[in-house]
Amino acid sequence: MLLLATLEGLSSSFVTQALEWPDLRWPLRDPLSGSAHVQMVLRLGYEPEGPGTPRRPVPEVLAIQP
């Protein structure tokens, strides 16, 4: 899902800090089942284009044996 979101131009980040507080875990659960436990919160959205991440050349990180 994260790769597809990136292909579509979306940015993503995990927001798990809210799950560390017991008072916030209950409102984040599925209201229909009521018994599920939220494992993570994922934020997706569009943001302004930023600078690219520098990448090392492939031969520097991958050794291909013939």
The residue among 36 and 6 whose pLDDT is bigger is: 6
Task: Output the pTM of the full model.
Answer: 0.53
Name the nearest CA neighbour of 1 among 35, 29, 40: 40
Query: For 23-66, how does the pLDDT look when each residue is reduced to its tens digit (9 = 90+)?
Result: 887 787 777 776 777 788 889 999 888 888 899 998 899 988 87
Cβ neighbours, 10 Å, residue 25: 13
Are 60 and 54 within 8 A, CB to CB?
no
